[in-house]
Amino acid sequence: MHKLVVIPGDGIGREVVPVAVEVLEKLLPDLQIVEAEAGWSCFQRGGNAVPEATYQAIRDCSAGIFGAVSSPTGQRVPGYRSAILQLRQGLKLNTSLRPVRSWPGVSPRPGVDLMILRENSEGLYSGREHWESEGVAIAERVISRVACEALARCALDVAKARKARRITLVHKANVLPVTCGLFRDTCREVLEGEGWAAELDERLVDLAALQLVEQPEAFDLIVTSNLFGDILSDLACHWSGGLGLAPSLNWGNGIALAEPVHGSAPDITGSGRANPIAAILSMALLLRYHWQKPALAIRLEAAVENFLREEGKADFGFETTRVVGQGILAVL
d(CA 275, CA 234): 16
Q: Are 119 and 94 in contact (CB under 8 A)?
A: yes
Q: Are 165 and 201 in contact (CB under 8 A)?
A: no
CA 77 to chain centre: 25
Which among 291, 289, 280, 288 has a CA at the least distance from the CA of 30?
291
Q: Are 91 and 255 in contact (CB under 8 A)?
A: yes
Active site residue 26: no
Active site residue 160: no
The burial class, CB within 10 Å (0-12 / 13-18 / 19+), for 180 is buried
Q: One of 60, 157, 160, 206 is an active-site residue; which one?
A: 206
Active site residue 80: no
> Helix, strand or coil for residue 73?
coil
Q: One of 10, 125, 289, 293 is an active-site residue; which one?
A: 125
Q: One of 92, 163, 172, 289 is an active-site residue; which one?
A: 172
Q: What is the DSSP letter of 286?
A: I
Q: One of 230, 267, 289, 313 is an active-site residue; which one?
A: 230
Dihedral of CA atoms 50, 55, 58, 60 in degrees, nearest 10, equals: -160
Q: Are 107 and 75 in contact (CB under 8 A)?
A: no
What is the full DSSP assignment across 138-160? EE--B--HHHHHHHHHHHHHHHH
Q: One of 113, 185, 220, 234 is an active-site residue; which one?
A: 234
Q: Are 285 and 66 in contact (CB under 8 A)?
A: no
Active site residue 230: yes
Q: Are 281 and 302 in contact (CB under 8 A)?
A: no
Q: Are 233 and 170 in contact (CB under 8 A)?
A: no
Active site residue 30: no
Question: So which residues are the catalytic ones?
Answer: 125, 172, 206, 230, 234
